[in-house]
């Protein structure tokens, strides 16, 4: 059995040669795949300047391919090297003269207990010895295809050589490739053009701006060649894509593109020359906005007034020179700072103070009218682009008080002993501290004082809005008929260094005799009575139209229109009655303040006429108008020839009856006015007719007012 170890040693050597051949073959295949992967990666990245993600995918694909080839053609083969029997069979196949003696000897030598199988140990030893001599003359290596292995090994060495030669020829490019495609670093390939985007605006290639704002992308060319044209390619988060040629400053090698009102996040890159930049992103954030604002306007120190709150939404706030404005507000986000910007250009600003994480306050004292805006900066560094709220603060000089004077209860004509009621209204930016009424008579009347001053009550002054109602007796002025009076009201403020005084438009009065005024009032009464008679005639015509409807009822649709028209006419007549009512009110006021009769007498006249007209409207005319509205609504079922029509006709008769009764009162009131001046003159005389005239006057009063007339007037 001494020959068996030699045979096995030769088979082990053959196995090692097979392993070496398989390693050379698999290594050559791996080298080829490596060369192809590196070349493809280099070419793709050099041409297209791939992003990190794409390079990572190629790297993984290359590593995967190398791993698969290594396993398939190297490791898996080396793990499955042939044992003794396959090697012996392969040798016998190459040398047929061995006639299966080699495989038989090896198999018999492995039998542990040959006698059990009917074989002697000597037989096995003879079989091994018999094959040992011919095996010595056999070259086991000839079973290998060494030529093919050599060729593949040469190709593998060639691939390795090409890679080494390429790296040696351009080590810089090889280093960049390795860093970019193996280490996956952001290293740039050498190129003639480099486009550098504003790094301050795009730190880490990301800009964060306010949603809806504009953004100008600026790039500079810093290479050896500067392109005439640079294109920006962009897409937003909604999938919208586009490209545009950037505006170029060829002398400065600067390129710009403006995105307007950006509504969605945008990703873009630039292409120009041989440069293709990496992607840049525009991310959107909500800007801080003012959600609550309160504005107070303060006054100059001399005013002695507390600030007042104003609402800029109701109009531009006004403030006096020397005053100030306080603005307080709250924002939608935590703030880093805030300021008030002044003017259209917003180039001037007054910093405010933060009173809380999202609240602020600022005080300004502008010297002239200015546009204000609020600039907020939040903790993300974002500002509100609109500067809202924006409003104009109008800075005005302290003006003189605005004064209005109105007479009440008297017309343009008064008697010398009249009582003149008046109302003074004065407003000021700060407060009215002094006031007076100045009465100037015409130059032709030398007996009356000129001017006559009446101080306004001090206790009613001292505020920015003053309203004073008072009366003045003309008797002490000693006026004579024919004189003209001009009333003017004055108001003074407390402005410093010089106070301002304002005055009203003058109110003119003519002084007349009692006879002139009485005749004028009588004429106005007669005029109003004539208007009232016309209204009675109009009421009769409306009544007659209704009677025609009763005689010839139209269709329901036309009936509705007829009743609506009559209701409208009734309301128009009532409005005219109201106007007459106001006119009589003024007449009786003038009688009262000019003392034409005793107050009790005028009061009875007022009740008889003015109150009577009011009751005519509210108690008779208005219910009748509503009755006509109801008839219009029920036109289809309205029994115009029956009870419904009777009620409407009765309503018209009630209105006419009340109007005719009112007309009689007006005529009696005219009679009173006609005799009042005559009675006054007679009562002032001495003679035999005095008592008879008084009795006649009392009869007139009883005729007008009944059995309890007011007392007769006393001469004045």
- Parts of the chain belonging to CATH 2.60.40.10: 195-285
pLDDT exceeds cutoff 60 at 447: no
Which of 435, 332, 436, 308 has its CA nearest to residue 384? 332
How many whole angstroms separate alpha carbon 685 and alpha carbon 407? 34
- Kindly indicate the confidence band of residue 163, based on its pLDDT and cuts at 50, 70 and 90: confident
Dump pLDDT digits (tens) for 287-315.
899 999 999 999 998 888 889 999 988 88
What is the model's pLDDT at position 362?
A: 95
pLDDT exceeds cutoff 70 at 126: no
Task: Render 611-664 in DSSP notation, one character per residue.
Answer: IHHHHIIIIIIHHHHHHHHHHHHTTTT--TTSHHHHHHHHHHHHHHHHHHHHHH
- Average pLDDT over the chain reads 85
pLDDT exceeds cutoff 50 at 448: no
How many whole angstroms separate alpha carbon 413 and alpha carbon 402? 27
User: 374 φ, ψ to 5°?
Assistant: -110, 120
Task: Render 321-349 in DSSP notation, one character per residue.
Answer: TT-EEEEEEEESS-EEEEEEEESTT--EE
79-88, 522-531, 561-570, 600-609: which range is least confident on average? 79-88
pLDDT exceeds cutoff 80 at 129: no
The β-bridge partners of 282 are: 207, 266
How many whole angstroms separate alpha carbon 155 and alpha carbon 685? 157
The mean pLDDT value for 635-647 works out to 84
Dump pLDDT digits (tens) for 34-84.
989 999 998 988 888 788 899 999 999 999 999 998 898 888 888 888 888
Q: How buried is 406 (Cβ within 10 angstroms: 0-12 exposed, 13-18 middle, 19+ buried)?
A: middle
- Parts of the chain belonging to CATH 2.60.40.650: 290-396
What is the model's pLDDT at position 640?
A: 80
Q: How far is CA 480 from the centre of its chain?
A: 68
> Cβ–Cβ contacts within 10 Å for residue 482, how many?
13
706 vs 113, more confident: 113
pLDDT exceeds cutoff 50 at 689: no
- Kindly indicate the confidence band of residue 112, based on its pLDDT and cuts at 50, 70 and 90: confident
Which of 340, 457, 466 has its CA nearest to residue 405? 466
Residue written as tokens 């709250």? 330
> Cβ–Cβ contacts within 10 Å for residue 609, how many?
24
How many whole angstroms separate alpha carbon 452 and alpha carbon 475? 13
pLDDT exceeds cutoff 70 at 1: no
Residue 292, H or E segment: strand 290-298
CATH number corresponding to 402-511: 2.60.40.1930
Helix, strand or coil, per DSSP, at residue 404: strand
Dump pLDDT digits (tens) for 589-620.
999 999 888 888 888 888 989 999 999 999 99
- Respond yes or no on whether the N-terminal peptide bond of residue 75 is cis (omega within 30° of 0): no
Question: CA angle, 465 as apex, 462 and 470 as ends, to 5°?
Answer: 80
Which of 38, 63, 29, 41 has its CA nearest to residue 158? 29
CATH for the 290-396 domain, from 3.20.20.70, 3.20.20.60, 2.60.40.650, 3.30.1540.10: 2.60.40.650
Strands 247-249 and 335-342: unpaired
The mean pLDDT value for 559-586 works out to 92
pLDDT exceeds cutoff 60 at 711: no
CATH number corresponding to 195-285: 2.60.40.10
Give pTM, 2 decimals. Answer: 0.55
123-127, 145-149, 405-409, 672-676: which range is least confident on average? 672-676
pLDDT exceeds cutoff 60 at 377: yes
What is the model's pLDDT at position 159?
A: 85
Tokens encoding 25 = 């073959």
What is the model's pLDDT at position 64?
A: 92
Which of 428, 290, 454, 411 has its CA nearest to residue 360? 290
What is the model's pLDDT at position 295?
A: 95
The mean pLDDT value for 424-437 works out to 91
What is the model's pLDDT at position 612?
A: 92
- Kindly indicate the confidence band of residue 687, based on its pLDDT and cuts at 50, 70 and 90: very low
Q: What is the DSSP letter of 5?
A: H
User: 194 φ, ψ to 5°?
Assistant: -125, 130
Residues present in the chain in total:
716
Dump pLDDT digits (tens) for 205-261.
999 888 888 899 999 999 889 999 999 999 999 989 999 999 999 999 999 999 999
Tokens encoding 385 = 């682009």
What is the model's pLDDT at position 258?
A: 94
Dump pLDDT digits (tens) for 466-485.
999 999 999 888 888 988 99
The mean pLDDT value for 342-371 works out to 90
Helix, strand or coil, per DSSP, at residue 538: helix
- % helix, strand, coil for the chain, step of 5: 45, 25, 30
> Cβ–Cβ contacts within 10 Å for residue 335, how many?
20
439-448, 449-458, 572-581: which range is least confident on average? 439-448
- Parts of the chain belonging to CATH 2.60.40.1930: 402-511
Contact call for residues 53 and 36 (beta carbons, < 8 A) = no
């Amino acid at each position: 059995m001494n020959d068996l170890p030699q045979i096995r040693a030769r088979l082990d050597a053959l196995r090692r040669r097979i392993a070496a051949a398989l390693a050379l073959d698999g290594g050559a295949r791996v080298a080829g795949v490596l060369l192809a992967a590196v070349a493809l990666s280099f070419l793709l990245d050099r041409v297209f300047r791939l992003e990190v993600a794409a390079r990572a995918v190629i790297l993984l694909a290359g590593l995967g391919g190398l791993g698969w080839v290594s396993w398939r053609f190297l490791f898996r083969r080396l793990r499955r090297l042939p044992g003794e029997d396959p090697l012996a069979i392969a040798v016998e196949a190459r040398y047929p003269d061995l006639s299966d003696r080699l495989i038989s000897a090896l198999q018999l030598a492995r039998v542990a207990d040959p006698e059990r199988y009917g074989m002697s140990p000597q037989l096995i030893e003879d079989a091994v010895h018999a094959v040992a001599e011919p095996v010595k003359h056999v070259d086991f290596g000839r079973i290998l295809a060494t030529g093919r292995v050599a060729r593949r090994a040469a190709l593998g060495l060639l691939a390795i050589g090409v890679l080494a030669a390429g790296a040696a020829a351009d080590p810089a490019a090889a280093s960049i490739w390795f860093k970019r495609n193996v280490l996956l670093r952001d290293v740039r390939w050498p190129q003639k053009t480099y486009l550098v985007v504003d790094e301050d605006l795009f730190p880490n290639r990301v800009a964060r701006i306010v949603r809806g704002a504009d953004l100008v992308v600026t790039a500079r060319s810093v290479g050896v060649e500067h392109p005439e044209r640079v294109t920006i390619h962009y897409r937003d988060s909604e999938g919208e894509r586009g490209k545009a040629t950037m505006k170029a400053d060829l002398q400065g090698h600067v390129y710009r593109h403006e995105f307007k009102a950006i509504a969605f996040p945008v990703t873009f890159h630039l292409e120009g020359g041989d440069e293709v930049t990496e992607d840049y992103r525009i991310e959107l954030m909500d800007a801080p906005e003012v959600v609550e604002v309160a504005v107070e306007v303060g006054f100059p120190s001399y005013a002695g007034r507390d600030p007042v709150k104003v609402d800029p939404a109701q109009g531009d706030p006004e403030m006096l020179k020397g005053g100030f404005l306080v603005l307080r507000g709250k924002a939608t986000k935590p703030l880093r700072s805030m300021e008030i910007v002044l003017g259209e250009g917003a180039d001037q600003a007054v910093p405010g103070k933060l009173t809380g994480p999202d609240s602020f306050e600022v005080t300004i004292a502008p010297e002239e009218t200015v546009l204000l805006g609020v600039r907020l900066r939040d903790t993300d560094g974002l500002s509100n682009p609109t500067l809202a709220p924006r409003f104009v603060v109008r800075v005005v000089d302290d003006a003189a008080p605005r004064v209005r004077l109105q007479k009440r209860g008297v017309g343009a004509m008064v008697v010398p002993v009249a009582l003149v009621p008046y109302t003074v209204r004065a407003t000021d930016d700060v407060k009215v501290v002094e006031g007076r009424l100045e009465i100037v008579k015409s130059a032709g009347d030398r007996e009356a004082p000129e001017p006559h001053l009446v101080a306004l009550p001090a206790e009613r002054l001292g505020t920015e809005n003053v309203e004073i109602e008072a009366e003045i007796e003309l008797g002490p002025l000693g006026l004579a008929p024919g004189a003209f009076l001009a009333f003017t009201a004055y108001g003074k403020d407390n402005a410093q260094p010089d106070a301002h005084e304002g005055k009203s438009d003058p109110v003119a009065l003519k002084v007349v005799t009692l006879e002139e005024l009485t005749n004028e009032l009588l004429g106005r009464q007669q005029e109003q009575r004539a208007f009232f008679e016309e209204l009675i005639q109009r009421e009769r015509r409306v009544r007659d139209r209704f009677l025609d409807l009763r005689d010839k009822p139209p269709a329901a649709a036309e009936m509705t229109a007829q009743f609506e028209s009559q209701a409208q006419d009734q309301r128009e007549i009532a409005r005219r009655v109201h106007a007459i009512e106001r006119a009589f009110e003024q007449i009786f006021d003038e009688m009262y303040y000019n003392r034409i009769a005793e107050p009790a007498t005028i009061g009875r006249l007022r009740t008889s006429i003015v109150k009577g007209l009011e009751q005519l409207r509210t108690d008779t005319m208005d219910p009748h108008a509503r009755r006509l509205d109801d008839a219009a609504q029920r036109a289809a079922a309205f029994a115009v020839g029956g009870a419904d029509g009777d009620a409407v006709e009765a309503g018209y008769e009630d209105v006419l009856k009340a109007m005719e009764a009112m007309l009689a009162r007006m005529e009696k009131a005219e009679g009173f006015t006609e005799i009042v001046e005559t009675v006054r003159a007679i009562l002032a005389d001495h003679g035999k007719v005095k008592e008879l005239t008084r009795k006649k006057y009392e009869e007139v009063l009883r005729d007008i007012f009944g059995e309890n007339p007011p007392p007769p007037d006393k001469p004045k």
